[in-house]
Structures are given as C-alpha cells and as structure tokens.
C-alpha cells in the first residue's frame, strides 16, 4: 500500500490490542486502506466505523471495504462529529478495531425499523441472542456480554425500538447511539458488511473476555421551574404549547431569551428533564419551527411535565463517572461510545471544550457525537454513554 494514501490517517494501539484510526481530512479511500493495512497483520473481530456523511459516502465505504477487506466484519453509522484520541473533530471519521483475541461478535440489521413493530424486533433480537450465546458455548457469560446499537437518529422510533431490543436481549446490557448528519436533519446512514441502510438499526452483540462495564452519565439537576406540555403531536415529537402558551415563547421566557434568538446552542445549554424511576433524563429540543412550535429529539406527549435543569458541570460530572468505573473494574484501557451533540455545543457555549477534550484524552474516551443515546431500555439525550474496557492480564 502506498504510504501516501494513509498519511493523513492517525493511528493508536491500546494495551488490549484495540486500535483506533481517525482523521478530519482523509478521504474514504484512505480510511479503507488504513483499515486494510491493520487487518493484514492483526486478526480483527469487528471494525466499528463512525463517519461524517458530508465528507464520506456510506455506499463508497461499504463498496471499498467489501472489496479490500472481504473477511472483516464491520458496522457503523454517520455522525454529528467525532471524539478522537486527539480530541474533538468535525466532518471526519473514527474507526475502532476490536481484536479477535478478546472479542467475538454477531450483527443483526433491522431495516425500516420504525415500521417493524415491537414484537418483531424483540423476537428477532432474541433469536440473534440465542444463536450468539449458543455459538459461545461454555464461554458465554452475561457479565462479559453487551450489545451495541446504531440507529437512525431521524427515525422518531428510538424509544419503542430500544424497549423492544432490551426485551429481546433478556438482561444483556445495551448501549446505543442515534446516527447523525452534521446537524442537517435530513438523512442519516447505517452500514454493516455489504449493506447500506437508513431508517435502520444495526445491533451488534459483543462478547468481551476483558473486564468491561457499560455506563451512562449526564450533568443536569432539576430546578423549580416547570413546563407542562399542553399541546403536542407525539408522532412528530412536536410541541405546540407549553403552559398553554406557544412553546417557543414559554421556553424562551423560562431561560430569559427572546423566542427568535433560540438556536441549537441555547437548547444545549438550557435543557429540560423528566423524571422516570427515581432518575432524571434530558428531553432535548431539536429545533425551533416557524410557527413557534418546538421539535424534540425524544418522545413527547400531552400532559408531560418538563423541568428546567441546571448543569452541575460537565467536566466534573464526567470525571466522577469515569472514576466510579475505575473503582468497579480497575484500570481502564479504553472507553468508547457516544457523546451527545448537545454536550459538544454546550461545552462550546460555556467555553469548556478544551477541558472536556483534555479529560477524554486523559481517560482514553473515543466515540461520536449523536442525536441521542440508548442505555438498556431507555432512549435518552445529552448524555455521555458507552462501555469501559479494562486492561488485559499481565501474564495471558
């Protein structure tokens, strides 16, 4: 392979043999050539490819990967930005290579996921789970299994799909990210081996023989200010009225802004939350519409009580979450997963991007910026969610 084709692609290898490739400028051919170079010398169980679809074509990735790496399993989706070992980037890609020495995988593609129905999704997930655990034989251990879900972030179906998948997994932990499209809100893409999809979910079951633990964290706590949804279109995640006022007016008044000045930055910094099962979860606003209605990233319904939230500090909250993982599984080799795009925008607004990026570098977190995250049976917003992988044994 010509070294010039991959000179713009950065590469690092962790102690477990997990490798990460990333670039903000390299083209699709360089991405696939870099993966081919790594897989020529290492036995790779799975390549996870997260990419900007404004710079990389999903169809081209699949075509080149299928030609250059026909024996390598891969999955992935489009992003709203990436988190690399160097920090935050936009309009690039990041690829995580899981070594076969410690990982075994099986992928299920759920096409047209919004119309499949919960029973079908749960049954197909259960069938895949049984097939996978049977293939592991005596190596099967629920404490070493987790599932990775990459779903269309514009499908308006993440809540029901997540519940159905969780039911089919029968206790196997689930983490997931909603695919993005660089805040264009037009179309997202999912890929798996020879298939290019949108309106899909790509679910990968992963068996890991290293210490591992899934996690989720957000940095918001409730205030006393309540907003009640008094008119909504749940199918479109659209809220027309809050507290019997135009939604944008009520929300803008709550944060001390003029409605016409609302944008993604204000939605990221002034979140609303709901309470389920004793925990608070963000319900992020996607956009302001011309009729002063608000479109949300999560399910919304009439009568839902939203609470204005305040930030406890993204950096401190994230550090605490990671330190708790370190106490649980020991030294961490790598964390990978999902960082909501609104966390990125919030950090920019609060001028703390360099601090959260430094924390991610220090703690070896990599991933992509999502339109939402999934954790077990919940679809959530504005979280830092993923899996921590521990160190390999010193004397394997």
Task: Quote the tokens at residue 25.
Answer: 């400028």
Cα distance between residue 153 and residue 185, in whole Å: 9
Q: Which of 311, 327, 354 is the last residue of a domain?
A: 311
Residues 91 and 203 in one domain: yes
Question: Number of helices (H) and strands (E), helices first, in the chain?
Answer: 9, 27
Same domain, 319 and 307: no
Residues 147 and 235 in one domain: no
Q: Residue 69 carries which DSSP code?
A: -
pLDDT of residue 138: 74
Same domain, 322 and 303: no
Q: Are residues 121 and 181 in the same domain?
A: yes
Half-sphere exposure in the Cβ direction for 345 (13 Å, CA): 22
Residue 116 lies in a domain: yes
Instruction: Tell me the whole-structure pTM to 2 decimals.
Output: 0.92
Q: What is the domain range of residue 297?
A: 220-311
Q: Is residue 240 part of a domain?
A: yes
Model pLDDT, residue 142 = 66
Contact 242, 296 (CB under 8 A): no
250 shares a domain with 178: no
Residues 31 and 144 in one domain: yes
Rounded distance, CA 376 to CA 392, Å?
Answer: 26
Q: Is residue 201 part of a domain?
A: yes
Q: Per-residue pLDDT for the chain (396 aa), expressed as one digit of tens each?
A: 345 445 589 999 999 999 999 999 999 999 999 999 999 999 999 999 999 999 999 999 999 999 988 889 999 999 999 999 999 999 999 999 999 999 999 999 999 999 999 999 999 999 999 999 999 987 666 679 999 999 999 999 999 999 999 999 999 999 999 999 999 999 999 999 989 999 999 999 999 999 999 999 998 889 999 999 999 999 999 999 999 999 999 999 999 999 999 999 999 999 999 988 778 888 899 999 999 999 999 989 999 999 999 888 999 999 999 999 999 999 999 999 999 999 999 999 999 999 999 999 999 999 999 999 999 999 999 999 999 999 998 865
Whether 395 is in a domain gets the answer no
* Six token digits for residue 28: 């699709």
Q: Is residue 341 part of a domain?
A: yes
Nearest to 215 by CA among 87, 377, 376: 376
Domain boundary among 286, 311, 336: 311
CATH of the domain at 283: 2.40.30
Q: How many domains does the chain have?
A: 2
* DSSP code for 381: B
Dihedral sign from CA coordinates of 51, 238, 343, 146:
negative
**CA distance readout (Å), 205 to 172, 212, 240, 277, 290:** 9, 14, 39, 27, 42
Give the 3-state secondary structure of residue 22: strand
pLDDT at 140: 67
Tokens of 176: 């997931």
- CA-to-CA distance for 135 and 382, rounded, in angstroms? 36
Note whether 20 and 111 are same-domain residues: yes
The verdict on residue 237 lying in a domain is: yes
Polymer length of the chain: 396
Both 274 and 384 in a single domain?
no
The enclosing H or E element of 190 equals strand 190-192
The answer to whether position 43 is within a domain reads yes
Q: For residue 116, which of 154, 79, 149, 155 has the smallest C-alpha distance?
A: 155
**How would you classify residue 87: left for phi > 0, otherwise alpha for psi between -120 and 50, otherwise beta?**
left
396 inside domain: no
The whole-number pLDDT of residue 277 equals 77
Same domain, 10 and 130: yes
Euclidean distance between the first and the last CA atom of the chain, given in angstroms as a whole number:
33
Name the pairing type of β-strands 305-311 and 332-340: unpaired
Q: How many CA atoms lie within 13 A of 395 on its CB side?
A: 0
Q: Give yes or no for a contact between 85 and 20, defined as CB atoms under 8 angstroms apart.
A: yes
User: Domain boundary at 285, 311, 337, which?
Assistant: 311
Same domain, 243 and 134: no
Residue 394 phi, psi dihedral angles, 5° rounding: -70, -30
* Pair 267, 294 in one domain: yes
């Amino acid at each position: 392979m010509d070294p010039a084709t991959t000179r713009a692609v950065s590469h690092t290898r962790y102690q477990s043999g997990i490798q990460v490739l990333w670039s903000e400028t390299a083209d699709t051919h360089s991405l696939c050539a870099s993966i081919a170079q790594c897989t020529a010398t290492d036995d790779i169980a799975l390549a996870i490819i997260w990419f900007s679809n404004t710079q990389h074509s999903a169809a081209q990735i699949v075509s080149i990967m299928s030609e250059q790496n026909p024996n390598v399993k891969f999955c992935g989706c489009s992003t709203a930005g990436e988190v690399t070992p160097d920090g935050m980037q936009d309009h690039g890609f990041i690829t995580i290579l899981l070594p076969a020495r410690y990982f075994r995988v099986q992928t299920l593609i759920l096409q047209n996921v919004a119309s499949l129905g919960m029973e079908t999704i749960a049954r197909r997930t259960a069938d895949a789970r049984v097939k996978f655990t049977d293939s592991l034989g005596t190596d099967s251990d629920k404490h070493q299994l987790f599932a990775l879900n990459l779903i269309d972030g514009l499908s308006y179906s993440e809540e029901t799909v997540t519940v159905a998948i969780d039911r089919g997994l029968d206790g196997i932990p689930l983490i997931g990210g909603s695919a993005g499209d660089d805040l264009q809100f037009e179309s997202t893409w999912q890929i798996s081996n020879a298939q290019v999809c949108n309106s899909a979910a790509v679910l990968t079951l992963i068996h890991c023989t290293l210490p591992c633990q899934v996690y989720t964290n957000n940095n918001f706590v409730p205030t006393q200010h309540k907003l009640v949804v008094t008119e909504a279109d749940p199918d479109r995640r659209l809220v027309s009225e809050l507290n019997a006022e135009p939604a944008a007016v009520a929300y803008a008044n709550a944060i001390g802004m003029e409605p016409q000045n609302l944008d993604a930055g204000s939605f990221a910094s002034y979140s609303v939350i709901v309470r389920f099962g004793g925990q608070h979860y963000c319900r992020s606003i996607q956009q302001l519409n011309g009729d002063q209605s608000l479109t949300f990233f999560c399910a919304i319904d009439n009568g839902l009580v939203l609470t204005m939230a305040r930030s406890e500090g993204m950096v401190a909250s994230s550090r605490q979450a990671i330190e708790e993982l370190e106490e649980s599984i020991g030294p961490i080799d790598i964390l990978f997963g999902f960082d909501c795009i609104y966390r990125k925008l919030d950090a920019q607004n609060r001028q703390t991007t360099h601090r959260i990026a430094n924390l991610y570098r220090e703690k070896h977190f990599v991933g992509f910026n999502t339109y939402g995250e999934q954790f077990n049976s919940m679809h959530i917003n504005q979280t830092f969610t993923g899996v921590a992988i521990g160190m390999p044994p010193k004397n394997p």
